Amino acid sequence: MLYIYIYIYIYNIVRCGGSKVNLRPPIISTDSRFLLCASGDLVKVYSTRTEEWLHSLQGHTNQVTGIALNPANHLQVYSCSVDGTVKLWDFIDGILIKTFIIGYPLFAIYVSEKHEGVLFLHVSMATDSKNECFQLVAVHLPKSAEQEVEAKEMSVVSSHISSNPSCTAFGRGGEYIAFARHLQLNVYFFRKQKTCSFSLKATDKKGAKNAFTCIACHPTDDCIATGHEDGKIRLWRNFIHKKEYTYSTQHWHHNAVNTLCFTPEGTHLLSGGIESVLVQWQYGAGNRKEFLPRLGGSILHISVSSDGQLFCTSHSDNSKLLSFKCLFLPMLFMLSGDGVLTDLMIDPRSKALVLNGKPGHLQFYSLLRDKHLYNLDIVQQEYIYEAGLDQFEVVKAAFDIKGSWLATVEERGQKSSDLEFFLKLWAFDERTQSFVLNTTITAAHTDRIISMCFSSSKETTMLVTIAEDGQFKAWCQGADADTQQDQNFWSCDFVGSYHNLKPTNCSFSADSSLLAVSFQEVITIWSPETWEMLTTLCQPPGVIRDLCFGRLSCSKYLLGTTTRNLLCCWNLLTCALEWSSSVEVSKLQPDPLSENVAAFSYQSKHTDVFVFKPSEPRPLFTNKNVCSEKVHRAVFVPREEPLNNCDESSQWLNRSQLYFLTQNMDLLTFSTATEEDRILSSSKQLVIDDSVAVTPFYLLLGKHGQQQQKLNTQSHPAADKPQQPQGSVTIKELLHTPAHVLPAASVLCSMFVNSLLISNTGVQEEMDSEKEEEDSEEEMEACDSQQELRVQGSVDEVTLKLSKAQERELKRVRKTDFSWMAGLIDSKP
């Protein structure tokens, strides 16, 4: 079985109900150890110390639109989603505790300590997608023990709120909630049940744009900070009075303030905008402020840990930075949000995915570890964060087969007529383990470079570029006698053209003995050795869109796609068309490690994937309706260890994995069933028993529980429990469990040793098991206090689901149970 595993990175834009819903601010757990981010339909948990992805909270079926720590239990987190549910998670262990069904698409969640059992949600009430109508509702969570509860008790706080979730914030101690929409600030006081509204003029004589963009409330004072479209920050006070309210204005940002955040102590206010500068205003000291500039893309959200030590900023380019006061750790995952201009590439050395990163950079992204490795500065110019500027951007990049050369093209003025571009060649420096600029070619062509590729031979590296000026050029290293230097620079080796037609694509054969360059409808085959044109291949009308040679056993084939919905395959030995098929192909991607070629076809508003071998026109694998957008970029990523999948339809995934990028900047991939099982297994293991809190501790000591449960079937309906893992699984559990939740080492030790023993058969086994029981009985006493705690915890959770009578029963049963155990031990010897 094959299925699509959707791999949505942080900050992707999902369109829901016609409105744009941006990613929500990340939250830092109370102990500052974890960072939680809403990402697609997942909530990802990262460690703030190692910056590594730990696990994901999986369960929502649509975009997660908000996360908030449970104010009653700081180890739990609420998440809301467009699918109309709010889920409560234990985010450390990744367990779904409860699901509340609201029934409307939800867009943001707010919680407050003062309002226990009440969630505040942004709900879209719009029936037709055009007029956005968001409401702020308070939802009373029902105290039901079931896993899935329908929350029906709702009350509307405000029926007209901004779609931007940053425009709503809880005030000091949850006494009031402030929300802004356009030019109006509203403060709803819960105690008086009264709303105070304050409006600003749309513009004044000086051309200020006063629309609200974000809001933050001071944690201890009654002060509301609001950000505005023209970059002003206003601090509102005395807003209990309709007339005597007052505000002070600060102005530093030159563009809209995207986010505001007070530190937990309330001593500082943090603000961020497009300038990519984190501004730290001293609260109450007027203009005094500090800056943290050049953070990356424009700042979208800021969150602060509860101890005020960690700031987390999320940026439009999908990166997140954790800053530890002023010394900060650049961190985390980014997958550029503002559009990927380069192809998806794999760095042959690090096996990292390479694509546009920060503006003017290429980023290296480890798919295995889901981690951003580093950015390579290509443009080497300061990027100015301001809307409407035309700045250099990396548009093309290519690696040679060994990964020792990187070619990049940067371009400016795509929109205007005066195009500027540079071709740069970078050599891999073994010593520094990074790419070093070798050659910059300022006027490689007279017009824009359309495409480029390196030859695939291992001996000589050659780069071929094709451009809109109708020429293709081959570039070689060295051989320049004039510059008598040690270093070898790249220079032009050959310029070719064909009837002044515009080239569209170029490709080297697997052994680099042939170069295919397509000129409009004609494919020309050249020999790179002699630069002589060997043959031309014509095909039925249609401009060639994609061109690739077959690999390995199919290297005699050349594949091409045209704009007129045709996929052709030529046999280069006969120079004849082998087969052709009428299919609209938007992207053709060969696998470098096998003969397989993947074709993405966009038809009737969805994309289909075909995988085939050039030798036969029959697809190996077909998957219809992979996604609803066009796919223009795809890459095969070689696996570290090949899989041995014998299933015919998934064999093509054995050596490498196919990743592709949709127009919505979702990176998707195919994964096999076994992988999927592996991914899900851990979470499935944890979600087994509904009635008892599942901890690794429980898993270890589960045997007792099981025995007890058998006796208490009246209160514990027989749980459908899988066989407890033995041996290595237990060790794994032991090693993977955080130390603070483990019982004392003395307790574990004997069990651990026991688990390693090879059990004997017959009478001795019985003896052993009895002994084991005795042992564990002692352990029970030894770790009595810990047990108590645990029991308490589990009882608490039981109360969620059991009626009082049942609960009492359970307690009684537990008591008797223990005494019975004692009796048993007493009677035995």
Partner 1 sequence: MMSTDLRSAMGEFKVHRVRFFDYMPSGIRALAFNQDTERMAVARMDGSVEVFHCSDRFFQEKIIPGREQFGIEGLSWVGERLFSAGLNGGITEYDLTNQKVKYTIDAYGGPIWTIAGNQQGTHLAVGCEDGTVKLFEVNEDNIQFERNLDRQKSRIVSLSWHPSGSKIAAGMMDMIQVFNVETGHSMHRMLADRGVGTSRSKECVVWSVVYLSDGTIITGDSVGMVKLWDDQTGTLIKSHNVTKCDVLALSVSQNEDSLVAGTSEGIVVQFQFVSMVLGKDDKEWVRTRTFRNHTHDIRAVAEITTAVVSGGMDAQLVVRPLLDKIEERSAASALRKIHFPHRRLVACARKSGLMLFQYPGHLELWRLGESEGKGIPGSSLFVKRNPEKLLHLKVKGEDHIRCSAVSPCGEWIVYSTASTLRLYRLHCDNNNISITKISKLPKVLSSANQLCFSSDSSHLFSASAQSSVHLVSISQSGCKFVGTLKPKSGSHQAIHLLAASEDGKWVASANSDHEVHIYNLQTRKAHCTVPIYSSAVTAMGIHPATNCLFMMHADQQMFEYSIEQKQYTDWSRTVQRKGLHRLWVERDTPCLNVMFNPQNPSHVILHDMYMLCIIDQSLPLPDDKTQFYNQLTLKSLTEEQRKSHSHAFKVCKTFKDILCVELMPDQSLVVVERPLEDIATQLPAPIKQKKFAT
- Residues of this chain that bind partner 1 (CB under 8 A): 172, 175, 220-223, 237-241, 243-249, 254, 284-288
Identity of the residue, 283 or 364, whose beta carbon is nearer to partner 1 in the bound complex: 283
**Alpha-carbon distance 191 to 776, whole Å?**
54
Cα–Cα distances in angstroms (integers) from residue 776 to residues 702, 751, 758, in the given order: 11, 8, 19
Shortest Å, Cβ 243 to partner 1: 5
Shortest Å, Cβ 384 to partner 1: 12
Q: Other C-beta atoms within 10 Å of 635: how many?
A: 24
Q: Is 718 exposed, middle or buried (0-12, 13-18, 19+ CB in 10 A)?
A: exposed
Shortest Å, Cβ 286 to partner 1: 5
Shortest Å, Cβ 206 to partner 1: 9
Identity of the residue, 283 or 333, whose beta carbon is nearer to partner 1 in the bound complex: 283
Identity of the residue, 202 or 285, whose beta carbon is nearer to partner 1 in the bound complex: 285
DSSP-assigned beta bridge partners for residue 376: 362
Shortest Å, Cβ 446 to partner 1: 36
Identity of the residue, 206 or 605, whose beta carbon is nearer to partner 1 in the bound complex: 206
H or E segment to which residue 806 belongs: helix 804-827
- Distant-in-sequence contacts of 802-807, Cβ < 8 A, 24+ apart: 802/145, 806/715
Shortest Å, Cβ 176 to partner 1: 9
Identity of the residue, 201 or 804, whose beta carbon is nearer to partner 1 in the bound complex: 201
Shortest Å, Cβ 325 to partner 1: 23
Backbone angles phi, psi at 285, to 5 degrees: -115, 30
Identity of the residue, 16 or 225, whose beta carbon is nearer to partner 1 in the bound complex: 225
Tokens describing residue 123: 């709900």
Would you give the distance in Å from CA 732 to the centre of its chain? 27
Identity of the residue, 224 or 464, whose beta carbon is nearer to partner 1 in the bound complex: 224
H or E segment to which residue 310 belongs: strand 310-315
Shortest Å, Cβ 679 to partner 1: 50
Shortest Å, Cβ 241 to partner 1: 8
Would you give the distance in Å from CA 219 to the centre of its chain? 31
Identity of the residue, 220 or 803, whose beta carbon is nearer to partner 1 in the bound complex: 220
Shortest Å, Cβ 386 to partner 1: 11
Shortest Å, Cβ 156 to partner 1: 24
Shortest Å, Cβ 201 to partner 1: 12
Tokens describing residue 32: 């500052």
Give the residue from 217, 221, 223 showing the smallest Cα distance to 246.
Answer: 223
**Alpha-carbon distance 126 to 113, whole Å?**
30
Identity of the residue, 240 or 437, whose beta carbon is nearer to partner 1 in the bound complex: 240
Check if the beta carbon of residue 705 is closer than 8 Å to that of residue 692: yes
DSSP for 349-390 reads TT--EEEE-STTEEEEEETTTTEEEEEEESS-SPPP--TT--
The secondary structure of 319-339, three-state, reads: CEEEEECCEEEEECCCCCCCC
The residues, ordered by sequence, that sit 6+ positions from 433 with a Cβ below 8 Å of its Cβ are: none
**Alpha-carbon distance 567 to 585, whole Å?**
7
Identity of the residue, 51 or 222, whose beta carbon is nearer to partner 1 in the bound complex: 222
Q: Other C-beta atoms within 10 Å of 427: how many?
A: 17
**Alpha-carbon distance 119 to 70, whole Å?**
10
Cα–Cα distances in angstroms (integers) from residue 344 to residues 367, 593, 633, in the given order: 12, 17, 6
Identity of the residue, 175 or 733, whose beta carbon is nearer to partner 1 in the bound complex: 175
Identity of the residue, 223 or 548, whose beta carbon is nearer to partner 1 in the bound complex: 223
Give the residue from 737, 706, 709, 741 showing the smallest Cα distance to 722.
Answer: 706
Residue 740: helix, strand or coil by DSSP?
helix
